Chain A
């Protein structure tokens, strides 16, 4: 399992270790067979549940095992819903792939939805205390499920199935527990996502997970309100910890339209906001011009200036001449970087692209000075990035800068 910048290591095994492994494989296979045979008999009992615990500790990537575990919870361990509860009206659970691995005759009786009780069952006309007792039991079970996944997540932080399972448990918590309790659990979940991001700041699973958790916390289901301000502040924190964090810059860019809307920002404050963001990325590029994440964010801001049609931008009310002023300044500042940073191809790329944006804004073609600069920058790019020679030559052609390769006589 790889993490950014840390290589996988291959182990050298001695004879003794090989024998030990063969033993372990035998035990694993026996466990796996037990789980599979019981599942195919739809024997979703507490015993099978415990077997899945063992199997998952050895191999959390075996996603079918997680599904078997879900069924055990629903069929035996979690409380059955009382009539009129949200569960009995619930649509099939949100977990993926609820179909059994082996087709079997008896599988039809064990669907993934909770079975509504028959009218004559003991749960009909349930008194308040029985429902409460059910909730308490569920809370215990679901909390312990969350705890169960934690060491597995720490060992395999990029295993989709563990993240999905946690989300499914969290969803069960919303469906089965009172809102205040459910909300607390989801808030703690945000803490977990932050912790995982501290361990590996560029774990995109953790960033995606964070987004989902925040969305749920903001929703009416958990009586939430917008969290766009603290989330924006969070991206700031992550960026200051590590400028190369593409996910953080990306999330920041996604939050901005909603942030400005919620702040009810007028044109003046929108402009001030844009100024601040440009200053931030300018400082970042000043110390890290070789960093692609930074250039992506800079481009995002510049595109906000240059394109107006179609989508919400930071400062839509800017007049064209203002936009030209902004872009001019960016070009000047980026050229300054060339004074001290030699051989950084991304600088030349940016200069080239933004010059073309400038022409686009002013609805004209590059003038003589610009043409000379573009030719020089492309010359540098061809030198610094010879693998993309084709791309640079295409650019030359597109901008009408290329010399004819051959003449037809």
Chain B
């Protein structure tokens, strides 16, 4: 049997994050010699889903003094609130580091379909989007208001006035055709201005409705531009109902993007790629037409191309994240409100700009993604909450506050208990691909809360470069079925 060192690999892919895994998928029928490595013992890299035990090890690794404090992940900690009971065994949990929701119109999904990989992923519906409303008097509970995004939603919503509804309907209609000529004339002069100003001036939407619209964009600073905001709302509205009534986005079961990464790697393996987990690159020597890699396994391999995440780090910003396990089914969040709609497994709650801070302190929005146990990420009877906000000196405090407020708004007998909290910060140093001779550095994972299709472009570029000698008909991420369908034939026998 050939050893790893005997082969001149066409590419060594380092890391099994979503990007690298999709690259492996795209190359899985190409016949190229691919060696796919990951220093971790699990697939998914920065997009992985971790059991509680894996989470502890992960936190330890990040906090370890030997590791740079300027990596992608920083300042992580685990808290188990006093008196909290009911936490199940570690493997009963699968906490997603990349809980992005994927809109139905997303290019990622069409790539998964055309490459046939979609069949191995179970997609769950992302249901309602809510806005958190603080109590109007101190005696009241805070509440969650469902954001209407279809004509029928607006129709059924009792808290919006008739006139305000007309404004909202006109806006929804406008967005659905926002690339049309007459619509472009209206918004392009305000393209770089704030969406909220545009909503107020052009459609007379009040603060409440502006908050609804901005919440749908999942804008981390709440100040999204008109141009970007319209594009995202357009994607949301045109995704609604695409795969079934009542939902605009999906979420892969068993840990979000990590599941897609695993499926992609599996396809890579079926296509002949060699996989090695728990293997890091210890030394790297570039020659004229190849790179020599010394692996932690002791192997020394040669490759014509190395694809990895960049090593650039940033110096600030990024996001603060909290993952909390709560002891409640949070049923009221996961109701399908349309006839024939599937039961959603994910709900989105937005804390709009300026809401969570102490009086007088403007704050950034906080977004909370609630996952029911249907996602496979926790046992039945519990939910996993993923909170995100821009990183500031107070962001950890605000996440805690948001979590608390959210739990107070839940209409159950008692306020649901938090059993486990993971806090971490994530930066995005490299935002673009960077070629370094025979090394191709991919950008860091996107911090966007909904899947950003632009992150797919770097992989396509690598694929094109690698297959530049291939026949012209090869289409990116388009594969025929491996086995032919039998159904129709049977009818005629």
| A residues near B339, Cβ cutoff 8 Å | 198, 237-238, 240-241
Contact B151 A27 (CB under 8 A): no
Which of A57, A199, A241 is within 8 Å of B152, CB to CB?
A: A241
Identify the stretch in B164-172, B347-355, B395-403, B444-452 within 8 Å (CB) of chain A at 4 or more residues: B164-172
Q: Is A159 an interface residue (CB 8 A)?
A: no
A283 contacts the other chain (Cβ, under 8 Å)? yes
> At the interface, yes or no: A268 with Cβ under 8 Å from chain B?
no
Residue of B nearest to A282 (CB): B162
Chain A residues within 8 Å of B169, by CB? 286-288
Encoded as 1 (CB less than 8 Å from any B CB) or 0, chain A from 215 to 256 comes to: 000000000000000000000011011110000000000000
CB distance from A231 to the nearest CB of B (A): 15
> Does B245 sit within 8 A of A, measured CB to CB?
yes
Q: In the bound complex, how far is the Cα of B155 from the Cα of A288, in angstroms?
A: 9
B276 contacts the other chain (Cβ, under 8 Å)? no
Complex formed: what's the CA distance from A337 to B162 in Å? Answer: 10
1/0 contact string of A57-81 vs chain B (CB within 8 Å) = 1100000000000000000000000
Q: Is A240's CB under 8 angstroms from B162's CB?
A: no
A-B contact number at CB 8 A? 54
B338 at the interface (CB under 8 A from A): yes
In the assembled complex, B480 has its CB within 8 A of some CB on chain A: no
Is there a chain B Cβ closer than 8 Å to A341's Cβ?
Answer: yes
CB-defined contacts of A28 to chain B, threshold 8 Å? 492
Are the CB atoms of B166 and A286 closer together than 8 Å? Answer: yes
Q: A341 to chain B: which residues have CB within 8 Å? A: 166, 170
A240 in contact with B156 given A286-B165, A287-B165, A340-B170 (CB within 8 Å):
yes
Instruction: Determine the distance from Cα of A341 to Cα of B492 in the docked complex, in whole angstroms.
Output: 56
Bound Cα distance from A59 to B169, whole angstroms: 45
Task: Give the secondary structure class of A's interface.
Answer: helix
Tell me, yes or no, whether B491 is within 8 Å of chain A by CB.
Answer: yes
Cβ contact of B155, chosen from A27, A237, A240, cutoff 8 A: A240
The reply to whether A243 and B155 contact each other, CB–CB distance below 8 Å, is yes
CA distance in complex: A241, B154 (Å): 12
Digitize B60-94: 1 where CB-to-A-CB distance is under 8 Å, 0 elsewhere: 00000000000000000000000000000000000
Q: How many Å from the CB of A248 to the closest CB on chain B?
A: 11
Shortest C-beta distance, A294 to chain B (Å), equals 10
Cα–Cα distance between A105 and B149 once the two chains are bound (Å) = 67
Contact B155 A287 (CB under 8 A): yes
B340 CB-CB contact with A under 8 Å: yes
Q: Bound state CA distance, A243 and B148, in angstroms?
A: 15
B residues near A24, Cβ cutoff 8 Å: 492
Q: Is residue A284 contacting chain B, with contact meaning CB distance below 8 A?
A: yes
A241-B245, A340-B167 known; A284-B340 Cβ under 8 A: no
Interface string of B159-201 (1 = CB under 8 A from A): 0001101110110000000000000000000000000000000
Min distance, Cβ A306 to any Cβ of chain B, angstroms: 24
Within residues 264 to 302 of chain B, which ones have a CB less than 8 A from any CB in chain A? none
Q: Known A24-B492, A57-B491; judge A243-B151 contact (CB<8 A).
A: yes
Please report the C-alpha to C-alpha distance between residue A23 and residue B165 in the assembled complex, in whole angstroms.
59
Contact with B along A104-126 (1 / 0, CB 8 A): 00000000000000000000000
- Residue among A284, A287, A336 with most chain B CB within 10 A: A287
Interchain nearest-CB distance for B336 vs A (Å): 11
State whether A340 touches B152 (Cβ < 8 A): no
Q: A241 is contacted by which of B162, B166, B340 (Cβ under 8 Å)? A: B340
Q: In the complex, which residues of chain B have a beta carbon less than 8 angstroms from the beta carbon of A340?
A: 163, 166-167, 170
**Which of chain B's residues 466-493 have a Cβ closer than 8 Å to chain A?**
491-492
- B192-234 near A? 1/0 per residue, CB < 8 Å: 0000000000000000000000000000000000000000000
Segment 13-30 of A: residues with Cβ below 8 Å from B: 23-24, 27-28
Q: Are B491 and A58 in contact (CB under 8 A)?
A: yes
Q: Report the separation of the CA atoms of residues A209 and B154 in the bound assembly, to the nearest whole angstrom.
A: 31
In the bound complex, residues from chain B placing their C-beta under 8 Å from that of A57 are 491
B257 to chain A, nearest CB (A): 31
Complexed CA–CA distance, A284 and B492 (Å): 50
Partner of A286, one of B152, B162, B338: B162
Residues of A within 8 A of B155 (CB): 240, 243, 283-284, 286-288
Taken together as a complex, chains A and B put the C-alpha atoms of A23 and B493 apart, in Å, by 11
When C-beta atoms are compared, the residue in chain B nearest to A241 turns out to be: B339
B492 contacts A242, C-beta separation under 8 Å: no
Shortest distance from the beta carbon of B212 to any chain A beta carbon, whole Å: 15
Query: Whole-angstrom distance between the alpha carbons of A283 and B163 in the complex?
Result: 11
A280-301 Cβ-contact flags toward B at 8 Å (1 or 0): 0001101110000000000000
- Give every chain B residue within 8 A of A237 (Cβ-Cβ): 339
In angstroms, how far is the closest chain A Cβ from the Cβ of B164?
10
Whether the Cβ atoms of A27 and B166 lie closer than 8 Å is no
Which residues of A are found within 8 Å of B154, using beta-carbon distances? 287
User: Which residues of B lie under 8 Å from residue A339 when comparing CB positions?
Assistant: 166
User: What is the bound-complex CA distance between A155 and B155, given in angstroms?
Assistant: 33
Residues of B within 8 A of A336 (CB): 162
- The interface centre, meaning the residue of B151, B155, B245 with most chain A CB atoms within 10 A of its CB, is B155
Using Cβ atoms and an 8 Å threshold, which residues of chain B touch A241?
152, 245, 338-340
Contacts of B491 in A (CB 8 A): 54, 57-58
Which residue of chain A is the closest to B204 with respect to CB atoms?
A: A340
User: A residues within 8 A CB of B163?
Assistant: 340
Closest to B339 in A: A241
A27 touches B338 (CB 8 A): no
Q: Is the CB of A287 within 8 A of B151?
A: yes
Residues of A within 8 A of B156 (CB): 240
| Nearest CB in chain A: distance from B484 CB, A | 12
A286 and B170 alpha carbons, distance in the complex (Å): 11
For window 336-388 of chain A, which residues contact chain B by CB distance below 8 Å? 336-337, 339-341
Q: Is there contact, CB below 8 Å, between A243 and B152?
A: yes
* Contact pick for B340, options A58, A198, A283, CB 8 Å: A198
Task: Give the residues in chain A near B152, CB-CB below 8 Å.
Answer: 240-243
Contacts of B170 in A (CB 8 A): 340-341
Per-residue interface assignment for chain B, residues 329 to 353, with 1 indicating a CB less than 8 Å from any chain A CB and 0 otherwise: 0000000001110000000000000
Contacts of A198 in B (CB 8 A): 245, 339-340
Complex Cα distance, B340 from A340, in Å, reads: 33
- Nearest B residue (CB) for A54: B491
CA–CA, A198 to B246, complex, Å? 12
Interchain nearest-CB distance for B168 vs A (Å): 8
A84 to nearest B CB, angstroms? 44
Q: Closest approach, in angstroms, between the C-beta of A275 and any C-beta of chain B?
A: 16
Given A54-B491, A336-B162: 20 more A-B contacts, CB < 8 Å: A24-B492, A27-B492, A28-B492, A58-B491, A198-B340, A240-B152, A240-B339, A241-B152, A241-B245, A241-B340, A242-B152, A243-B152, A283-B155, A286-B166, A286-B169, A287-B151, A287-B169, A288-B155, A340-B166, A341-B170
A selection of 21 A-B contacts at a CB cut-off of 8 Å is A27-B492, A28-B492, A57-B491, A198-B245, A199-B340, A238-B339, A240-B152, A240-B338, A243-B155, A283-B162, A284-B155, A286-B155, A286-B162, A286-B166, A286-B169, A288-B151, A288-B169, A336-B162, A337-B166, A340-B166, A340-B170
Q: Which 3 A-B pairs have the closest CB atoms?
A: A198-B340, A340-B166, A241-B339
